[in-house]
Structure formats: C-alpha cells, structure tokens
Amino acid sequence: MGAQRELGEWLKNPSAEERARELERVQAKMHSPPYLMHKFWARRPWTVFRRIIGDFTRPCSIILDPFAGGGVTLVEGLILRRKVVAVDLNPLATFIMRHEVAPLGIPKFKKAVERIKASLEPVMNELYRVKCPKCDSNAVAEWTEYVGEHPVLIKLRCGCGFHGTKVPEDSDMSLFSTEAYKEIYKEIPIVRIPEGEKTRDLLKRGYKYFHELFSVRNLTALALLRREILAESDTEVRNFLRFTLSSTLKWASKLSHRRGEIVEGWAMHAFWVYPRWLEINVWRQFLRRADAVIRGKTYTNKYIGNYAVEARDFEELERGDATYMIIEGDARKIPLPDESVDAVITDPPYGGNVNYAELSDYFLWFDGKLAPKSEEIIINRARGLSLSEYERGLSEVFRECYRVLKDESPLISTFNSKDMRIVAAFITALRQAGFKYVATSCQPYLKVYETTFHALQVDAMPFDFVFIFRKSDKKCAKRQESNLSEILHELREKLEECKKEKATEREFRERTYPYLIDYIVNFSIEDARILAEEYEYMIKRERKHFSKIRKEVVKRRMSKNEQAIPTGFDGKGS
C-alpha cells in the first residue's frame, strides 16, 4: 500500500507532466521475436510499454489490460515480473496471447517439425513441382503469380543451381492433380464470409466462402499439414503446431502479392485480391513460421520462463499462485473484485481504424469459427455503429476499469486517430467514467513503421499519444472557461500558415493536436465535442487543397522509390 500511495502522490504532483514527457525519449524498436510469431494488427512498440510498466507499477503489481489484443501489455508485464489480467473479446487475440507467454519445450517442438517434414516434404514437393528451364529436371515452385485465374510467372529453385523465374508452361500446371487429393481437400471447413464493412468488396466480387480466397493447391497443402498436426500426441506441441499453421495462413491466400521485388503475404487492414496475386508455396512458409515460433519461444522461455502461470480465477492471481489471467469476454463486465487492480495499461480500438473482428475471421475460419461482433467497440457503418456508440462502449469499459482500480492508481493508454472527434470521444469516455487527467506525451513511431503499408498513406499519423489518467473520487478543479471563437481563430491562422508552406494535412494535425488536446481535457464535455467537430469541418473545407498536396508528395515518393516495406512488417504487427 505504501508504494501505491507513493505512486498516487506522484500522479497528483505538477511534475508528473514533465515525467510523462520522458516517455517521448523512449526509442521505439522493431518487434521483438514473440510478436513476430503470428500476425495481429496495430501492436504498439514493446519498448514504450515496457517503460510504462516499469515506471508506473512495481514488481508483483496487478495490471489490467481491457483491450489486450496482440498481447504487448501481457508479455512485457510478465517479463518485468508483474501480474497481468488480459481481457479481449476476440478469440484470435486470446489464442495468440496464450501462445506468446506459455512455455514451450523447444527440443520436442523441433522434433515434431522434423517428423512432419519427413512425412510431408516429398508430397509437398510433388504438389509444387515444376520443370526447371535450365536443366529440364523437376524443381519446386516458391510462388506462382496469377492474373485472375491464369498463371503468368513462376519463381522456382532447382538442384542444378537455378534460382529464378520462368513463364509457366502447360506441363507445369498439369503436374498438380486435384483428383489425387480430392478427399483431403474435403477436410477444409466451409465457412461463409459474413457481411461486413471490410468484406463487402469480397462479396461484391463473388467470393462467398473463405476457402475461395485460397487456391486448390494451397488448400490441399494446408489440409495435409492439418492432418499431420492433429496426429501429434503431445498436447503442448500439437497446440503450438496449430499456432504455427494459423500463422502460415497470412502467406497462403490470394491476398498475397508482389510489390517490386518484395513478396508480401496479407498486409492490409482490408481484404483485397490483387489483379496479380501470388500462390505462395505453403510448405516453405510453414517451415519459416516454425522457425519464427522457435525464435519467439526461445525469447519468452528466457525472459519469462516458468514465471508464466495461468490463473483459473482471480484468487489464484491475488495469492501469488499464478501470474496472469486471459479472459475471453466483454470488458464491460470484468470478473474482478472492486479496487483489486494496481494499474490499467491498454491500447483501445481507435474508432474504425482497424476492424479487428472482421479481419480476425481470416484466421479463425480455418477452425470453423468466426469472431463475435455484436459487442465489439468500434465505428462500423455496416453494423450501424457510429461515433456515439463507440464513445458509449468505451465509457462503459472505463467505468468498469474505474471500479476495479485502486484509488489514486493510474490508467495509461496509447491512442491516436486521424479524426479529432474520435480522440475527443476517447477522452470524454475516460472523463465520464470518473478518471482525472494527468498528462500526455507524444511517442513517434519507429522509422521502419512509417514505411509499412498502412502508414504509407501520406496523411497517416506518424505517432501515438500516451495519455495518463488517474482514479480519484475527489472533486477536480473548476473547468477551464472556454472561448471557442478565439481558439478556432488561432487554429485558422495555423491552417493558413500550413497552406503557405504547402504542408500536408498530417503536418497540420501534428502541429495542432497537442494544442487541441490541452483544451479538450479541460473544457466541458459539450464544448470539447464542439471544438473537435469544428476542427474537422475546418479541414474538410480544405479537402481540395490537401488532396493536391498529397498527390505531389506521393509523386515525389514514387520517384524516389520510398515505398519499400522491410521483411516481417505489414502494418504494425507481424
């Protein structure tokens, strides 16, 4: 309790803002191995979360993350020897988190991969067999590029030393026989693609079921792998092999494509079959993903090890018999006692920036599942979820966080949006829940992340805000008097300055967001909403100007070939 009171006093101290700004000097680094095992969207920099956890909690503190997603709070919390309660509605998120932190006997996992390799490699090489243009012997295709359903290019490797591309011949494509693997192909689940904001385009283009996003050859390879994995007798190893196969799906569908010399699996926050798509050799990708799992588990075995013990209930966690809980459920109803948590550290959905549930179906369907969507807190026009529903959902979660959080304890959240109305909704939800504002810091992205597909949009925001709030039942000081007309006048002046400098919309937002946030956290909720609305309307009126500037920037980037994406990065997750 003494350490908690000390932290509470620090949060109320005026120097808290200066301390918070120290977070801006934390260098974001590339994903560490646990986060490269399986794709998840919008993972935040682990170095930033490790610093937050280290600065705002103590060893054995209980941390709650109500939007646990890709598991950064969970992993970094356990590394720092905290106890963590990770909550997420999404079954893909809980599936990934469990495998991120659970110990794995790596020697027996490697042995199982070798067993599968001995059993399947001859069959897989037959599946992807092509003729070598140099020696006319059998070789193995690494990928085949298609336009529509017509193969146009093959990348292959041959024992004679040839490693390159060739134009497909009729004999190349006839080597694979659908009939030979008909029964295996039938083992693939048939799951209908649900109507959604991110799936509408697929449905309009005639895709009705998820398996239609995969070639017959790749579905066959996936089915063969699945059969071998289910035959594994060791439960721990079998679960991690299933995890590896799930990770392989990113590279197995028609959503894969080439961007210059770079071969990409599914990289967007949307479903898009490119005019020229790739059929990537699933077997080769499975072996690569197995290596990624070995690297990830070598890391967590070293830094977390046997400290990771999953609790069956909160009492086990509180007693110290376990160190983490993963709860698959709605964070509006968290099964924890009042005032039982030392800190809330999280990264909630940013409006409709990432439609997690719809995107997760891409992985879940292979096990015959779909993500629940009715309780997801998001902006989604297809489901009729507007900004007001989003704000209400956040407020309900934050009220629950307030209930379970100890008095004077912190709630720390990263957040960002290229829409100030969404930022205002996030801040409003926290204030409505009873939290008191402490400070904000701005955390620039790692340079590598700025070249990812999602961030390559000229107007994508190149940083996150770290918001620090605290629980307090004491009345706060009187709200700052607002002079909206004066503030809007200052914003218009800044806008004119940016126009003269030919600054992008993003640059204008970069310069004005900190200024706006300072008002939004101190104004009345009604005035804060009006300010955010007027700000967005101001930008909307300059749409033509910013569009022109954007095209000029895109043209310069294209000419300098600045759009290369480093291997292993596809958005902000693996």
Predicted pLDDT of residue 172: 80
Binned at pLDDT 50, 70 and 90, residue 227 comes out as very high
Report, as an integer, the average pLDDT of 521-542: 93
Reduce the secondary structure of 18-53 to three states and give it as a string.
HHHHHHHHCCCCCCCHHHHCCCCCCCCCHHHHHHHH
Binned at pLDDT 50, 70 and 90, residue 559 comes out as low
389 shares its domain with 472 = yes
Indicate whether 129 pLDDT > 60: yes
Indicate whether 485 pLDDT > 60: yes
DSSP 8-state code for residue 562: -
479 shares its domain with 420 = yes
pLDDT digits (tens, 9 = 90+) for 189-210: 999 999 999 999 999 999 999 9
Indicate whether 32 pLDDT > 80: yes
* Residue 54 structure tokens: 């280290």
Please give the residue that has the higher pLDDT: either 504 or 327.
327
pLDDT digits (tens, 9 = 90+) for 422-456: 999 999 999 999 999 999 988 776 554 544 444 44
Q: With contact defined as beta carbons under 8 Å apart, do 221 and 214 qualify?
A: no
330 shares its domain with 472 = yes
Question: DSSP assignment of 453-488, as one string?
Answer: TTTTSTTS--EEEEEEEEE--SPPPPPPPP-HHHHH
117 shares its domain with 199 = yes
Predicted pLDDT of residue 255: 97
AA identity, residue 450: E
341 shares its domain with 447 = yes
Q: Pick from 437, 460, 485: which residue ends a domain? A: 485
Indicate whether 13 pLDDT > 80: no
Closest CA to 573 of 21, 92, 4, 156: 92
Listed in sequence order, the residues at least 6 apart from 554 whose beta carbon sits closer than 8 Å to its beta carbon are: 458
380 shares its domain with 409 = yes
Report, as an integer, the average pLDDT of 404-422: 95
* Residue 122 structure tokens: 């001859």
291 shares its domain with 327 = no
Q: Assess if residue 34 is contained within a domain.
A: yes
Please give the residue that has the higher pLDDT: either 267 or 386.
386
Residue for token pair 């490697």: 110
Task: Specify the pTM.
Answer: 0.91
Binned at pLDDT 50, 70 and 90, residue 16 comes out as low
280 shares its domain with 350 = no
Report, as an integer, the average pLDDT of 349-363: 95
273 shares its domain with 331 = no
Q: With contact defined as beta carbons under 8 Å apart, do 458 and 553 qualify?
A: yes
- Whole-angstrom distance, CA of residue 342 vs CA of residue 153: 57
AA identity, residue 324: Y
124 shares its domain with 271 = yes
Find the domain containing 35 and state its range. Answer: 2-100+304-485
Predicted pLDDT of residue 11: 56
AA identity, residue 18: E
Q: Assess if residue 555 is contained within a domain.
A: no
345 shares its domain with 415 = yes
Residue for token pair 């028609």: 254
Predicted pLDDT of residue 189: 92
Q: Pick from 298, 320, 338: which residue ends a domain? A: 298
Predicted pLDDT of residue 20: 75
Predicted pLDDT of residue 484: 87
Q: Flag the least confident range among 10-19, 56-65, 302-311, 343-352.
A: 10-19
* Residue 515 structure tokens: 């200024």
Residue for token pair 């806008």: 495
Indicate whether 48 pLDDT > 80: yes
